[in-house]
Every structure is written in structure tokens, then in C-alpha cells.
Structure 1
Amino acid sequence: MKKYISFDVGGTKVKHGLLLEDGTFLSKGSYKTPRKDLDEFLQKKIETIQMYLQDHQVMGVAISLPGFINPNTGYSEQAGAVTALINQNLKSLLESKVPLHVEIENDGNCAAIAEKISGNAKECNDFICVTIGTGIGGGIYVDGKLLHGHRFRAGEFGFMITQAQGKDIGPNLHSAASTSSLISAYRTLKGISENEYVNANTVFLAAEESKSVRRLIDVWARKISYGIFNLASTLNPQKILIGGGITEQKNLLSIITQQLNELPSWDEINIPVELCKHRNNAGMIGAMYHFRQKTGS
């Protein structure tokens, strides 16, 4: 089987893997994302690619990247928290330094592609994938086709405004319902400094012993439910899938479902809400599928 190097660039970590064409991982790894320094970002990428090339022949490099990504050219007008890639073309930059073809697609779109081809949306023509991580993004399929939007901004659910009173607009979905917002709220609740390591698993474990942390998670999940409700009522998809590292928490879906069921009118537009089959690997798998679609290899 053909082999591919795949990257999923997040605001916190860059995940990478060596994949077969059927989505099977031969190896995986990760490193901290160099968000601000372009040279450092490229160097880590090149070192990782060279590591895989020592022992394997590959068809190319597939990349899942946050932000406004033109999948036809590889240009990123915005790249989420990875400010080093604003107004950069990572495809061209890498192809000038490594002897491989490179293809890039938005991370939320990659997750949706993975679920459409071999995940929990194989039988769907109309579905939405919502990815929850450092920020919130996603991908939209309509009539069996991925929706990029006029300027490659479709699926940027994190900009959704979910609270407003007069001219006072509250936090958007990024700042209210991302995993980073949950961690920030937990730090505030517990008086934990930024120097102390905290991740989503820390918060969910604490909730098993603390009512105040459970309430914190419920409030956070309710904000997620607002976004899901708005998407379901706008596009009426067959289902909405939730992806991102947060899906490793075993009771996440039941918490979100409970919050949805408490929303007025949810029973009128109720659609299935499920987790992505590929969970936190969806970005890398979808990037590889995108590479194959673009190159025919």
C-alpha cells in the first residue's frame, strides 16, 4: 500500500503520522506548535518529514491547517492561533525544501472528509462536523459535496455570536466554548497559574469529585449546544458530528446531549448528534484523503 506523511496543525500541538492509503497508522507523534516563528515552524516540519523519509518511501505530505485556507494553492490568509502562517503559503515553502508534493486543507474540512470517506458520515449527503480544540471550526457537506464558501471561510463556526444584549456583543463560540476556554475557566475557578499544566482531562477528572467543576463543564457544554442548535436549525443536516481532542472524554456526548434537550424548540429540529469515528485522528486521516483526491495518487 502507498504511504503518506500527514500533519494536523493545532494551536497547541502539531500531530504527525505515517499513514497507509486506507487510513491505517504505521506510526504517530506530536510536538509543541511553534505558533509565532515561521523559521522554527518550517524547521520542525522539515525535521519530521526527514525522519520519516529515512526508512520509508512516501507519496507526499498532507497537512490539516486551521484558518482560511485555499486548498487549490495552499495559501493561508489566516491560520488560527498559528500567527506565523498568516499570509503565507506553506505548500510552496515546504516544496522548496523537501523533495515531495504537498497538499493543504482547512482542519475542520479535513475532519469532515475523513468522516465522509471512512467515518460516521459515510451514508450522509448532508452533515456537519464541529471540531472543538484551541478554537472551534468544522466542515459542511451539502448534497455530497464539501462546502468551501466563496472565500474559503465556510465552517468557521467559532466566529458565531451566541450572546448579545443591545450593542453589547458577548463572547463568540471560540472564546466561550472551545477547549481552551474550558481550561481557562477551570484555572480561574481553582486559582491555578498559567505556569501549571492543565488539559481537558484534568478538568473532567476533577469533575468526578467536585460539584463546582461539574457545573463549570455544564455551563461550557451549554454554550456548545447553542452553536449546534444554530447549525441544525440553519442547514437541517442529517447529523452533526463532534470532533477534536475533547472527544476522548467518555461522557462528553451525554453532557452535550443533556444541554441540547433543555433548549426550547430542540425537539422540533432534533437531529442525531454523534462523535467523529476518527476522534482526534480525523485531521490527519482527512488530510491524507484530501491529498489523494487532489493528486489522484
Structure 2
Amino acid sequence: MGEFIAFDIGGTYIKYGLIDNQSHILEQNKVKTPNELEELLTILQNYANLHKRAKGVAISIPGAVSDDGFVYGKSAISYIHGPNMKQLIEQRTNLPVYIENDANCAGYAEMWGGSAKGKKDVIVMAIGTGIGGAIIKEGVIHKGANLHGGEFGFMLLSLDRDIEENTWVRMDSTVSMIKKVAKKKNVPYESLSGEDVFKLAENGDEICIKAVDLFYHKLAIGIFNLQYIYDPEVILLSGGISARADLIHCIYKKLDSVIQSMPNATVRPVIDFCKYRQNANLIGAVYGLKQQFYS
């Protein structure tokens, strides 16, 4: 069938590459995400001009994406919310364009050739700056009535203070963990990374040990809730944190404690890693394009 151009538009970088019909990445690069829409469109156009024989352009993008190409919601890239992004990119590239939410693209990648291949009911979780993901229902991405399917970060884990502060993303994202540590250490938030916190914990730092322990505890509670809300075959983890080899082991330790305290909770969630990790959005966007234009 040929080759496809793919872009993963993120708040910091735009990853882009050429992908073949079997999900192989033939070439790949990245560029810093520009501050203006026109600059973004120029980047996409220039790369498309290098591959005029490509069969289409697949776009992974943050936000709630409508079928006609508008990107609703909010993200770190404010200028993508408002114009018809699909139409603008089609005009600049003269190619068929498919555009989809980044977490849904990660789900598509796992369906195509990853850890969700051959399964019908799966949850894909993206854990990083925020917490989100994709719901695969009967082998199809479930977007929901308002395009908010998979917005797990809005789930409330507590009601004991300001409501917004009780959402999963505010209580348990890696950014949330870093901010808690920075506050207790009285250092600028920007001076720490998630890797720093985990490394300090491993070296015996008490503040970081407690922060990491709470991170896994809240993560386990959220995953427990998702299991009993949807009852998927497997919950797949992606995002920068998925690079930690001990992640699933640590989550299971907390999950088992939760399950033991609830005699009627007999289902132990099955957790695994996404296969494609940092390349999932590029590959999944191409899968979505193939399904729409070449199925």
C-alpha cells in the first residue's frame, strides 16, 4: 500500500516520520513545537513535500478531535483549538489527512501490532504530565458522547478538600508528585524531574520515598476503579513512567493490599506495558488513517 507520513504534535516537540504499511518506522526525527500556527503548518508542509508519493498524513494531537477536524478542549498548544486543523493541513499538504487525539492514537497502535492485538476490551493508560488514555470497546476506540472517553484524569479520588485538587491527575500524575516533593524540600519545581524523585527515593531520601509510595498507592486505586468500571481484559501502561522496569511490580503490591481489604473484590487487574512506548502515537495515527481511507 505504500508509505505514510505521521506527526505526533506535543507541547514540547513535534515528532515526525515515515511509516510503512506494516507499522515499521522508516525514518524519524523531531523538532521543537513552534509558538504559532503558521509555523506549525509550514513544518508539516515542508516534510510532506519531501515525500510526495506518501498515501496520506496521519496526525496525533492533544485534545478532543471531532470527525470534521476541529480540536476541542485545552492543551499546551493553544492555537490548535479553534480552526479546522484537518482542513488546514489538507490544504498545505494536498494529501488525505487523518487527525486524532494522542491517547486514542496510542490505543490504535496497540491494536495494530501491540499488546492489545487480538483483544476486544482494553484500557490504555498514559501516565505523564497528565493522566489519560483510551478505551477499546469490542475492538473499537470508544470516544464517548462528548469525545471525552478515556479522560481518566478527571476521576475524583477523594472529596475532602477543593474538588479540582481531588482529581486523579492533580493527585497522582508525575508532575503532581514532583510538585509535592519540591514544596516539602522548598526548592523550585523546575529544579526536579520525575527521574530525580525516583533516584532520590532509591538513595534513601525520606521525602521522596513517601512521595513515590503515595504515587503508587493512588495509581493502584485509580486502576482498581477502572477495572471495576469497565472490566477490561488488560490495562496497558504508557508514558515516560513506563520506562521503569519495576512499575508494574510496584503497582501490584499496592493493588494486592487494596484487594485484600475488600473481601468482595475478586478480580485482580491484568496490567502490562504498551509495546510501542514513545512511538505509539505516530504508529497509531497511521493505523487510524489506514482504517479511514484504506480499510
Q: Tell me if TM exceeds 0.5.
A: yes
Write the distance in 1 (CA, Å) between the matches of 2:238 and 2:62: 14
Task: Give the SS at the match of 1:18.
Answer: strand
Q: CA deviation at 1:220?
A: 1.4
Query: 1:242–1:276: 8 Å Cα contact kept in structure 2?
Result: yes
Aligned match of 1:67: 63
Kindly report which structure 2 residues correspond to 1:53-132, keeping only aligned pairs within 5 A, or say none: 53-54=49-50, 57-70=53-66, 72-132=67-127
Query: 1:108–1:131: 8 Å Cα contact kept in structure 2?
Result: yes
Query: 1:159–1:174: 8 Å Cα contact kept in structure 2?
Result: yes
1:110-158 CA-to-partner distances (Å, cap 9, x unmatched) read 1111111211111311111111122221111122222111121111111
Write the distance in 1 (CA, Å) between the matches of 2:182 and 2:111: 37
Instruction: Determine which of 279, 291, 295 is the counterpart of 2:293.
Output: 295
Query: 1:12–1:134: 8 Å Cα contact kept in structure 2?
Result: no
Aligned match of 2:251: 256
Query: 2:134–2:149: 8 Å Cα contact kept in structure 1?
Result: yes
Q: CA deviation at 1:44?
A: 3.4
1:247 aligned to 2:233? no
TM-score in terms of structure 1 length: 0.88
Query: 1:33–1:41: 8 Å Cα contact kept in structure 2?
Result: no
Aligned match of 1:19: 19
Aligned match of 2:153: 158
Aligned match of 2:143: 148
Count of residues in correspondence between the two structures:
291
Q: CA deviation at 1:7?
A: 1.9
Aligned match of 1:265: 262
Q: Counterpart of 2:53 in structure 1: which amino acid?
A: Q
Q: CA deviation at 1:284?
A: 1.2
Task: Give the SS at the match of 2:166.
Answer: coil
1:66-124 CA-to-partner distances (Å, cap 9, x unmatched) read 22111x21211114333222233211122222222221111111111111121111131
Write the distance in 2 (CA, Å) between the matches of 1:149 and 1:109: 12
Greater Cα shift, 42-51 or 102-111: 42-51
Query: 1:5–1:49: 8 Å Cα contact kept in structure 2?
Result: no
Q: Counterpart of 1:162 in structure 2: which amino acid?
A: L
Query: 2:122–2:136: 8 Å Cα contact kept in structure 1?
Result: yes
TM-score in terms of structure 2 length: 0.88
Query: 1:162–1:170: 8 Å Cα contact kept in structure 2?
Result: no
Query: 2:6–2:59: 8 Å Cα contact kept in structure 1?
Result: yes
Q: CA deviation at 1:64?
A: 1.3
Write the distance in 1 (CA, Å) between the matches of 2:100 and 2:273: 21
Write the distance in 1 (CA, Å) between the matches of 2:185 and 2:26: 40
CA RMSD after TM alignment: 2.4
1:230 aligned to 2:228? no
Q: Counterpart of 2:289 in structure 1: which amino acid?
A: F
Identical residues among aligned pairs (%): 33
Write the distance in 2 (CA, Å) between the matches of 1:296 and 1:160: 36
Write the distance in 1 (CA, Å) between the matches of 2:74 and 2:161: 31
Q: CA deviation at 1:211?
A: 3.5
What 5-or-longer segments of structure 2 have no aligned partner? none
What 5-or-longer segments of structure 1 have no aligned partner? none
Task: Give the SS at the match of 2:235.
Answer: strand
Query: 1:42–1:94: 8 Å Cα contact kept in structure 2?
Result: no
Aligned match of 2:277: 279
